[in-house]
Amino acid sequence: MNLNFTLPERELEAVSQAVGEHIRYCVPVDLTLGGQRTEGYFVIGEQKWALLLEGRVVDSRLITDAKEYKVVPLIGSAVLEGDEAGTKFILTRLSMKHAARYGYIAQILNDMSRQRTIRIYNDEEEPVCASCGGSLIPGTRVCPKCMNKAAAFKRLVSVAMNHKKTFAIGLAVTLAASAISMAGPYFQKLLVNSSLQPPPGQSPSVPVFIWAILGLLFVLVGGEGLGIIKGRIMAGVSSQIAADLRKLVYERIQSLSLGFLTTQRAGDIMNRVTSDTDRIRNLVQELFTTAVFQLIILVSASVLLFSADWRLACVVLLPAPLVAYIQRYIWKGVLWKLFRKQWRVYDKANSFLHDVLSGIRVVKAFGKEEREVKRFKQYNAEFAAATIQTEKVFSILSPISNYLIQMGQYLVLLIGCNMILGKQMSLGELVQFSGYAGMIYGPIAWLMFMPRWLSNAIISVDRIFSVIDEQPEVMDSEASVKHSIQGTITFRNVIFGYKSYEPVLKEINVEIKPGEMIGLVGHSGSGKSTLINLVSRFYDVNEGEILIDGVDIRRIEQAHLRSQIGVVLQETFLFSGTILDNIRYSKPEATYEEVLEAARIANAHDFILRLPDGYDTRLEENGGNLSGGERQRLAIARAVLNDPRILILDEATASLDIDTESAIQEALQRVTRNRTTLAIAHRLSTLRHADRLIVLDKGEIAEIGTHAELVAKRGIYYNLITAQRNMSKKAEAVG
């Protein structure tokens, strides 16, 4: 992210008077305190900061005068706030566009005010386009204004080149098909001139008549036949290309780090794999079946028209663009908008219906049936009105648009018949001519619509390649080794934040011995889950290091590392498939016996055998046919099957009732024996078997020790545990 914008010349002078020659950071300001858009800069020098609006320094102070600088996000804007001896003040106001940038600035100001080293790992993406400064499409690095369509297209071509043979065949077939189509009007002329109305001086000829009829038949059958072949080839090729792209995207998504994936919405990623690739398939198919064909027809028909009679050709071609434009306007400007409106009203009525029907118990409980009927009536009427309007307009415009297309033909007949009367043209020639003229309007109208879908498809191409080009943040290096874990985990001066201006973990130093069970305790947001994410190396630390048996985890192969770590989360996710498949997920080659043992350890064996289908029970979506406790036990079995040396339990039993929890507790106790275990739990009783407890507070280790030690200390842990006891006592008293 850019934290050092270049100041314009005239402003540089004003600033250097305020903060000194050396400017360390400089970021734009786009809002005045009163909420007017403005152009200005917030500048940080060696000792002072300054606020520049419209070229004038309006405020400047010593950085050390205040502390606790922070960005306070408000609704639709944010302010940078400071605290000067207990009095808060606003340094500047900013639009949301710069909120993240000022997060860094606040952090820098804090570090400078406490005279610490500035800890900014400025690797966050700049969310604006580097060349035009406009907003990017979120989740991609695509700037819709500057996107280089040609470059994207080239990438697509390089993928398509894997199928160049099939392409060549398809193209040849397309050429042949268009040549055959072009022969149609010629045979029509032959037919007319040979038998229907021979030109003066010629007598009807039966052989020519037969040839012409056969020719027409050939055009009909051959054209259709080649059309089918062409369609088949292109459908095959385009699906292949789409499949290639899907594979590329999917492979890349799987290899990307959690960091990237969590910043993307699952739906967005789904879209890239499915609809974007499908749009590309459509592009390829359309381009090579329809587009090429239409272009060939357009060009060759025009050439033939001009060579037949250039005056007539002009009459046909001149109005063509106008006709095509009117066509486009009718469809895009009028009909399309109407349809969209109709869909919107339909959507609204639909979601209302969905809403009320799924909440029907609430409606009945509050006796509001009549009110809901009234509201539905309103939606229903709106929808009916919108439909009627669309249909009305459509019924008028649709025939008009059809007539427009045939207008050229009408002109040809008008002039052509005149020419026949003047003996300048034969009937056959006129038939041939109007045949070619009729071929021109289709392609022109089609071409008018092409730019829109072409550019939409190109955006898809770019969105796909933006994923394919994405580099994982966590990567194996060449020096990565396979390491068989013994179980010592050491945190040495670890500092980490998802956004580096907001450290979530600060200076974590701790050594966990092999086989030890560690309970992680703290308020939500204290950094517990982040700590275990780092052990699995879903993210790399910003500073310091994490060692496993003395080896930096950045030097251990990721796949090898994770295969030795078992994870049980609060939200268990089970895939559709059998119970056996799900337990085996962590070790697909596990024997039946191993699976049974893992299930037994996890206290799952008994309930599985009670099921009519045993281990072969097919799970519905995310194990919908099992209870929460059963799902959790399967997750534990899955985690231990691999005999992991390190076990991570993130709120593994939080969502379960007390009875189920104690069953699982028993299982866990068995599981955690001889394994290094990191367990997070809000219900502190869950952690009573832990060897040591680490209490995290605002990203720092506040307390560390055994249960007894921490209780004796009467600190945060003691407070937490008394609070929970009181809660449960109250609950018991009430119950």
Partner 1 sequence: MTLKDVSVSEILRPEDGGSSPGLAEAAQIRYLSPDDTEFTLTEGHMLNVKAGGKEHVGVYVHCSFPHTNKRIYLSIRTVENEEIGMIRSLDEFPEETQRMLEEQVELRYFAPEISKVLSVKEEFGYSYWDAETTSGYCRFTVRGGGGSVKLMTASRLLIVDVDGNRFIIPHLDRLSDKEYKMVEVCM
For partner 1, the binding residues (CB under 8 A) are 31, 33, 35-38, 72, 74-77, 79, 81-84, 86-91, 93, 95-97, 99, 127, 134-135, 137-138, 144, 337, 340-341, 344, 355-356, 359, 362, 375, 455-456, 459
Instruction: State how far the Cα of 51 lies from the Cα of 46, in Å rounded to an integer.
Output: 15
d(CA 509, CA 513): 13
By beta-carbon proximity to partner 1, the closer residue of 97 and 513 is: 97
| 75 or 734: CB nearest partner 1 | 75
DSSP state of 481: B
CB of 5 to partner 1, least distance (A): 17
* Shortest distance (Å) from residue 362 CB to partner 1: 6
Dihedral in degrees, nearest 10, Cα atoms 601, 605, 608, 610:
-150
> Which of 558, 542, 571 has its CA nearest to residue 651?
571
Question: Residue 518, SS3?
Answer: strand
* CA angle at 684 for the pair 683 and 689, rounded to the nearest 5°: 125
**How near is the Cβ of 86 to partner 1 at its closest, in Å?**
7
Gap between the Cα atoms of 255 and 234, Å rounded: 32
First to last CA, the chain: 55
Transcribe 30-59 into DSSP letters: EE-TTS-EEEEEEEE-SSEEEEEETTEEEE
Q: In whole angstroms, how close is the CB of 40 to partner 1 at the nearest point?
A: 13
Closest distance to partner 1 from the beta carbon of 100 (Å): 9
Pick the closer one to partner 1 by CB: 86 or 207: 86
Write down the H helix ranges in 505-627: 528-535, 558-562, 579-583, 592-601, 605-610
When the beta carbons of 143 and 298 are compared against partner 1, the nearer one is: 143
Q: In whole angstroms, give the CA distance from residue 93 to residue 82.
A: 12
Integer Cα distance of 408 and 410 in angstroms: 5
Q: Nearest approach, Cβ of 669 to partner 1 (angstroms)? A: 39
The residue among 93 and 605 lying less far from partner 1, judged by its C-beta, is 93
Report the residue number, 368 or 492, with the smaller CB distance to partner 1: 368
Residue 218 or 376 having the CB closest to partner 1: 376
Residue 688 beta carbon to partner 1: minimum distance, rounded to whole angstroms: 33
Residue 432 CB, shortest distance to partner 1, in Å, is 43
Shorter beta-carbon distance to partner 1: residue 431 or 461: 461
| Strands 67-73, 56-62: pairing kind | unpaired
Nearest CA to 83 among 66, 96, 99? 66
Shortest CB 164 distance to partner 1, Å: 29
Closest to partner 1 by CB, 75 vs 731, is 75
Tell me the pairing of strands 676-680 and 646-650.
parallel
Q: How far is the CB of 59 from partner 1 (least distance, A)?
A: 9
CA distance 525 to 622: 27
Nearer to partner 1, 283 or 687 (CB): 283
Q: Between 397 and 427, whose beta carbon lies closer to partner 1?
A: 397
Name residues whose C-beta falls within 8 Å of residue 541's C-beta, 6 or more positions apart in sequence. 494, 495, 496, 534
DSSP states along 147-194: --HHHHHHHHHHHHGGGHHHHHHHHHHHHHHHHHHHHHHHHHHHHIII
